[in-house]
Amino acid sequence: MILQAEMLECAHACLAMLMEHHGQPWTLEQMRSRFVPSSRGTSVSQIVRMAQSLGLDARIFRAEPDHLAQLKMPCILHWDVVHFVVLEGVADDGFHLVDPAVGRMVVGSREFDRRFTGIVVEATVGLDFGRVRPAADRSALVLLREGVLQRRGTIAAVVGMALLLEVLALIAPLFIQVSTDSIIPAGDSGLLWMLVAAFMVAAVLQTLVSMARSWTLLRLGEELTVAWNAAVCSRLLRLPYIFFMRRSISDVHSRFASIEEIQRVVTNKFVEGVLDGVTALLTLVIILAYSPTLALLTFCFCLAYGILRSLTLSRLLEGTERAIRARSSQQGQLLEILHGVHSIKAAGDEEKQVSRYNRKTRDAAQASASVQRWGGMVDEMGQAILRLHWIAAVGLGAWLAIRGSITAGMLVAYVTYAYQFSLRSIRMLDLVAQWRTLRLHSVRLADIVSGPAQAPGGDELPLPGRSDFSVHALQFRYNSDGPLVLAGVSFVVGSGECVAITGASGSGKSTLAKVLVGLLEPDQGRIELGGRPMQVLRREHLREQIACVLQDDQLFNGTIAENIAFFEPGFSRERVSRAAMLAQMHDEVMAMPLRYDTRVIDLGASLSGGQRQRLILARALYREPRILILDEASSHLDLENERLINEAIQALSITRIIIAHRPQTIAIADRVLEMRQGCLYEVTPARCDELPA
């Protein structure tokens, strides 16, 4: 069973399950890497093309529920109009499905008739099956391993202290054995008090070493958490912009929680688990020296727990993955409510949103409870095995003592060692199970840490004194089999020129703006800045030369000055004021009680739409760019403020590309271009008056 990570990945998950059934396992990550998910979902015909490219013979047809039992299963069903599921079989109790969003389920006839659209994708092994191999599975552990290797000294100290604790724990039962077999029969009180003193010193030493180890582990855990979060965040921000367009904020946010889970296992469990394995082996050797029969008994009970763990592990892993998805969905719903609270309150829709959130919360609670039930059952059965082992060990040991095979002291020591062996073995086997869970968290992080980084750019600089901009035969689509959004765009903007781009909504203007500033990589064509291709320019220099204001730009929590300077260390207050003046925001800021130290909270929710736009424009102007790209940057401004801003920017003599609908904004341009069907066309002055406002 493979669960989807995103709402629009159900088709990828279903296809991965079919490939696994036919003997070629593909992970969701591998499927996503080969077939980039579209932000608009996947159609049935696209699923067929994907399956055929993997060597499957796939076909689409309509079928009635009564005829599904005759199909070759598993197959993919179109479900709830916007979803896909895998049909595993049809039985008397209903239809056995795997829903990538929730897992396995059995659906009755009435519900099935209501949700099944009648469309089926059947896929069988074709002649080319097996020729296409999945890319190597990626893991976040490679990146996280660097943080561990940098702290080898601390880890070595923890291991050394843990080994000392294990040795002290292993010699404790010998005190009972020596006292029972040697000191009491001989009546040697001098030796007794000598041993008491020695073992008391060992107990104090054990306490001190245990405290030191705990403190060291806490410090190690803190350092690893900080280092890993910084590494993953750094890697996240180096990913291309399109990565964020295809994933929800809640899903990316939930993946960071996996870092803490990995840190907890590595610092608190891994070292202990390895030492538990070593200690269990040593205690088994000691028990073997006492009696091979007792050693066999102890080993058999440990083997029973191992079998129990292996039989329940897959169910626990599936439940854990389902719980993670459900919790991510719940967090996403809450974030959506918080971001849109003004719309919710304006529409009086509070109760409906609470109901939606409650459903997500109930799903998350049920998924978590399911994991806890299975985990609790395994723990209780493990405790039962421990108790049965203790009873059997005492009984068999006493029987051997009666026969004279072992002494009474050896019996007491054996029972202690047997308990230690069982306890350590169980903890080691639990670590193996947790390691599998760790792999699950690692795969979730792999989407971030192993994804292709944004192209670094070259080492060249634009020609001095030039800020001209030229675009040649630019093509772009959001996914490989999607339509062309930009279909051969070409235009030239001279140094200091102002060009306006207009067109209908959805025609590709904002996409063009994101390609021009380097957020999106074009499929074909080239962009030249100052006579040099953009891809050969230094990226940091490119960001200094080109500033932009896009429709979805945001302010951040901090002061107004920090937002204008974009949190630049040691920023210039004079440049901040100058940028605010150009954006016609200085007077309003100075009228605030704290002026430029006024806090911007909740992404600027306390400011008006026009104020937010002007602060974002001031942020772009603070960098003193040579090229300015504006995408509906004045849509919330009144005409007077827009006029003053345009006059101020025009005096700077910088190259401007303005995307707008307003006639007043378009009127300031030297030339006007119109976007139609993915291409740009020059608009004559006579036609400018005919453009829609």
Q: How large is the average pLDDT for residues 508-530? A: 86
In angstroms, the first-to-last Cα distance of the chain is: 52
Token pair listed for 290: 């006492």
**Is it the case that residue 479 has pLDDT exceeding 80?**
no
What is the Cβ-side half-sphere exposure of residue 402, based on CA atoms within 13 angstroms?
6
**Is it the case that residue 93 has pLDDT exceeding 80?**
yes
Give catalytic residues, as residue numbers: 10
Identity of the residue numbered 122 = E
pLDDT given at position 84: 92
pLDDT given at position 259: 78
Q: Which of 303, 313, 266 is nearest to 421 (CA)?
A: 303
Higher pLDDT, 133 or 554: 554
Q: How large is the average pLDDT for residues 537-565? A: 84
CA distance 632 to 662: 9
pLDDT given at position 686: 45
Out of 26-35, 451-460, 520-529, the most confident range is 520-529
Q: Which of 669, 603, 660 is nearest to 637 (CA)?
A: 660
- Give the tens place of pLDDT for each residue, 230-281: 888 888 888 888 878 777 777 787 777 777 777 777 776 776 777 777 777 8
H/E segment holding residue 188:
none
H/E segment holding residue 289:
helix 271-290
**Is it the case that residue 388 has pLDDT exceeding 80?**
yes
Q: Which of 657, 645, 355 is nearest to 499 (CA)?
A: 657
Question: Could you identify the residue written with the tokens 């060692």?
Answer: 417
Higher pLDDT, 650 or 458: 650
- Give the tens place of pLDDT for each residue, 166-222: 777 767 666 666 777 677 777 767 777 887 787 788 788 878 887 887 788 778 777
- The DSSP secondary structure of 355-404, one letter per residue, reads HHHHHHHHHHHHHHHHHHHHHHHHHHHHHHHHHHHHHHHHHHHHHHHHTT
Question: Could you identify the residue written with the tokens 């705990």?
Answer: 214
Token pair listed for 215: 């403190």
pLDDT given at position 78: 92
CA distance 451 to 515: 20
CATH classification of 7-125, choosing from 3.40.605.10, 3.60.15.10, 3.40.50.920, 3.90.70.10? 3.90.70.10
For the CA atoms of 177, 178, 183, 189, what is the dihedral angle to 10 degrees? Answer: -110
Work out the angle at residue 625's Cα, subtended by the Cα atoms of residues 507 and 609, and round it to the nearest 5 degrees: 55
Say whether 598 sits in a helix, a strand or coil: coil
Helical packing angle, 44-53 and 10-21, nearest 10°: 40
Say whether 348 sits in a helix, a strand or coil: coil
- Mean pLDDT score of the chain, rounded to an integer? 81
- Which fold would CATH assign to domain 469-688? Rossmann fold (3.40.50)
Q: How large is the average pLDDT for residues 1-13? A: 79
> CB count, 10 Å around CB of 363?
19
CA distance 333 to 331: 5
Q: How large is the average pLDDT for residues 98-111? A: 86
Confidence band, pLDDT 50/70/90 cuts, at residue 148: low
- Give the tens place of pLDDT for each residue, 589-610: 999 888 889 888 876 777 888 8
Q: Which of 1, 331, 407 is nearest to 174 (CA)?
A: 407
pLDDT given at position 140: 60
Q: Is the distance from CB of 381 to CB of 308 less than 8 angstroms?
A: yes
Q: Is the distance from CB of 653 to CB of 496 less than 8 angstroms?
A: yes
Confidence band, pLDDT 50/70/90 cuts, at residue 105: confident
> CB count, 10 Å around CB of 93?
9
**Is it the case that residue 451 has pLDDT exceeding 70?**
no
Residues of the chain with CATH 1.20.1560.10: 141-320+377-449
CA distance 206 to 198: 12
pLDDT given at position 363: 87
Higher pLDDT, 536 or 555: 555
- Give the tens place of pLDDT for each residue, 153-178: 777 787 777 777 777 776 766 666 67
Residues of the chain with CATH 3.90.70.10: 7-125
pLDDT given at position 221: 76
CATH, domain range 141-320+377-449: 1.20.1560.10
Q: Is the distance from CB of 256 to CB of 228 less than 8 angstroms?
A: no
Out of 500-514, 540-554, 638-652, the most confident range is 500-514
